[in-house]
Amino acid sequence: MITLRVQEAIDAVPAAWVSVPNPSGRIRSISTDTRHIERGSLFVGIVGDQFNGAHFAAEAVRQGAIAVIVQDSPEAREELARLEAAKKAAVAVVPDSRAALAELAKFVRGRLDAQVIAVTGSCGKTSTKAILAELLAAEHPVISSPASFNNDIGVPRTIFLADERTEALVVEIGTNGPGEIASLAAIARPHVALVTNVGRSHLEGLGSIEGVAREKGELIASLEGVKGGIAVVNLDCPRTPHLLRRVPKTTKAWTVSAEGDTRAALYATDVRMGPDGMRFRFGGELATDPAMGGEIFVSLLGRHAVANALMGVATLRALEVPLGSCIDRLAALRPEPHRMAPRETAGVHVIDDTYNANPESLASAVEVLANLTNPSGAGRRVLVLGPMGELGPETLELHRAAGDSARRAGVTDFVLVGGPGMASSGKDPRLQAFAEGAVAVDVAAGSTAPDGKTADVHFAPTFEGAATLLTSGARPLLQGDVVLCKASRAAKLERLVELLGVRLDARSSGASPMQAPPKGKEVHT
């Protein structure tokens, strides 16, 4: 990060009580976690539902922090009084530690001389961010959000990673409720805003698909008054007309289309999917760089991966960045963890898409499953699904419709994982609704659906039960089968993917199956 003096940092926040024994001290990093404190750090003690960062202030100083900012409370003042007496660090008590973190980030953002590109969307924002950062890195020093640092803690932490050498800063911006994107955009102050799509995510907080569209549109609206502001949106999304109405008059808007819509400034043609990725050609008014000629290969799966790549390339073209070697990096991309990440295990092609799920991302994943050719040969297509969360009052209907769509796409084998508490023999009502939707397709078609098959649906209340079913149960996975695992984050279905790999390897080698691997650290987003 850029180097700050202690006094500058303290002055940037609305402090209720301050002691600064060394105002000219240099802050070399800003942290909210004592596990990542280094000498010269500023520690901001965040208050959460289960913790108060003020309790870790002394530990931060012991590890080398030269300043601490915590939220006001009697306990905080008592703790910081001891630090003040020792005069080992600057201390500040603030009304709201999260607001203080935001003000620090705004101050640091104001010192940066970098193009700031912000990415949001119901699906694909993390992957698009990663693609864009990878392309830009061919020509420019780039900082991008680690993992999914897209909330009121993650966005400031991303900004703190940039320094005087940074030429491009790619920030991911998420939301769970109204007003969050506008607040985060006010911190990041982007020059370029990308909205990958508008889908039915976080409906509990945003109320409806219209509410999602309004919230995502706040990122585009934040370009008001930005000189040379650019918006990049997906013309294939039905809600894009709403987004385009939010574009400020002085902002240039560019559209992309993975479906080949020739109205888009950049679109894909001749799209083909193979076991190793997607192939296509560029078209449109932005497709004039010589590097864009010929067939393009993106080493990611799914038409949505083409859309994400188009978003990244369109941004570079809109910024007039010569593509040069940038375009070659599309062939070397790797999926973000648990996002359409393929792995071959004992001849079974497993796709780990367990990071999150909503109806739109599930539909994209099912399209890949139904059309993917397994490099090991032909076999079944198996969808392993956990429940989708945060869908509000329409939860059951959306799961039912997803089951219908998956069956019509040609998927016949379903393993639905989850019961109340993931520990009983009961069936999660959301998964029951999905099964009803899948089976109804066959019922409506008579004894079998048009593909001549019937849906084979199994329920497994636990990961252990699902792994047993898939490796030694009624319908074990065989060489040549393709299995896609997907669920919302709360389901933690990635643990099943790991267990499944262990079981398949053990079965292949003839060894005794191991129990579930130990739980790793939980990821909070």
CATH number at residue 53: 3.40.1390.10
- One-letter amino acid at 451 equals D
CA 341 to chain centre: 14
- Rounded distance between C-alpha atoms, residue 14 and residue 522, angstroms: 33
Looking at the structure, tell me whether residues 86 and 216 fall in a common domain.
no
| pTM for the predicted model, two decimal places | 0.89
Closest C-alpha to 436, from 403, 396, 393, 397: 403
Under the banding of pLDDT at 50, 70 and 90, the label for residue 455 is confident
Looking at the structure, tell me whether residues 212 and 274 fall in a common domain.
yes
Interval 11-27: pLDDT, tens:
999 887 788 888 999 99
Window from 54-68, 83-97, 165-179 with minimum mean pLDDT: 83-97
Q: Residue 450 has what pLDDT?
A: 47
Q: Give domain status of residue 521, yes or no.
A: no
Window from 407-416, 456-465, 489-498, 501-510 with minimum mean pLDDT: 501-510
CATH number at residue 482: 3.90.190.20
Under the banding of pLDDT at 50, 70 and 90, the label for residue 81 is confident
Looking at the structure, tell me whether residues 276 and 293 fall in a common domain.
yes
Q: Give domain status of residue 436, yes or no.
A: yes
Q: Give domain status of residue 232, yes or no.
A: yes
Reply yes or no on whether the pLDDT at 318 is more than 70.
yes
pLDDT mean over 206-233: 96
- Do 172 and 129 meet the contact criterion of CB atoms below 8 Å apart? yes
Higher pLDDT: 171 or 87? It is 171
Q: Residue 423 has what pLDDT?
A: 45
Looking at the structure, tell me whether residues 472 and 349 fall in a common domain.
yes
Q: Which of 283, 306, 332 finishes a domain?
A: 332
- Do 369 and 411 meet the contact criterion of CB atoms below 8 Å apart? yes
- Rounded distance between C-alpha atoms, residue 114 and residue 2, angstroms: 12
Contacts of 33 (CB under 8 A, 6+ apart): none
Reply yes or no on whether the pLDDT at 354 is more than 80.
yes
Under the banding of pLDDT at 50, 70 and 90, the label for residue 511 is low
Q: Give domain status of residue 524, yes or no.
A: no
Q: Residue 215 has what pLDDT?
A: 96
Looking at the structure, tell me whether residues 121 and 53 fall in a common domain.
no
Looking at the structure, tell me whether residues 32 and 61 fall in a common domain.
yes
Q: Residue 426 has what pLDDT?
A: 66
Average pLDDT, the chain: 89
Question: Where in the sequence is the domain holding 143, given as residue range(s)?
Answer: 112-332
Looking at the structure, tell me whether residues 191 and 310 fall in a common domain.
yes
Looking at the structure, tell me whether residues 228 and 135 fall in a common domain.
yes
For the beta sheet containing 17-19, the strands, ordered from the edge strand earlier in sequence to the opposite edge, are: 17-19, 90-94, 67-71, 41-45, 29-31
Looking at the structure, tell me whether residues 254 and 128 fall in a common domain.
yes
Interval 253-302: pLDDT, tens:
999 999 999 999 999 999 999 888 999 999 999 999 999 999 999 999 99
Interval 129-166: pLDDT, tens:
999 999 999 889 999 999 889 999 999 999 999 999 99
Q: Which of 49, 78, 102 finishes a domain?
A: 102
Closest C-alpha to 266, from 341, 221, 225, 316: 316
Token pair of 338 as six digits: 């648990």
- Do 257 and 311 meet the contact criterion of CB atoms below 8 Å apart? no
Looking at the structure, tell me whether residues 244 and 265 fall in a common domain.
yes
Q: Residue 515 has what pLDDT?
A: 44
Q: Which of 49, 72, 102 finishes a domain?
A: 102
The count of domains in the chain is 3
CATH number at residue 163: 3.40.1190.10
Share of the chain above pLDDT 70, in %: 93
Q: Residue 302 has what pLDDT?
A: 94
- Rounded distance between C-alpha atoms, residue 123 and residue 133, angstroms: 17
Q: Give domain status of residue 345, yes or no.
A: yes
- Rounded distance between C-alpha atoms, residue 223 and residue 13, angstroms: 25
Handedness of CA 330, 139, 310, 127 (dihedral sign): positive
Reply yes or no on whether the pLDDT at 474 is more than 80.
no
Under the banding of pLDDT at 50, 70 and 90, the label for residue 376 is low
CA 68 to chain centre: 30
Share of the chain above pLDDT 90, in %: 70
Q: Is 56 helix (H, G, I), strand (E, B) or coil?
A: helix
Interstrand relation of 266-274 and 277-283 (parallel, antiparallel or unpaired): antiparallel
DSSP for residue 489: G
Reply yes or no on whether the pLDDT at 178 is more than 70.
yes
Q: Is 209 helix (H, G, I), strand (E, B) or coil?
A: helix
Interval 21-47: pLDDT, tens:
889 999 999 999 988 899 999 999 998
By CB atoms closer than 10 A (0-12, 13-18, 19+), residue 173 is buried
Q: Residue 520 has what pLDDT?
A: 37
Under the banding of pLDDT at 50, 70 and 90, the label for residue 503 is very high
Reply yes or no on whether the pLDDT at 523 is more than 60.
no
- Do 339 and 305 meet the contact criterion of CB atoms below 8 Å apart? no
Looking at the structure, tell me whether residues 277 and 210 fall in a common domain.
yes
Q: Give domain status of residue 365, yes or no.
A: yes
Q: Give domain status of residue 218, yes or no.
A: yes
Q: Give domain status of residue 263, yes or no.
A: yes
Looking at the structure, tell me whether residues 485 and 372 fall in a common domain.
yes
Under the banding of pLDDT at 50, 70 and 90, the label for residue 377 is low
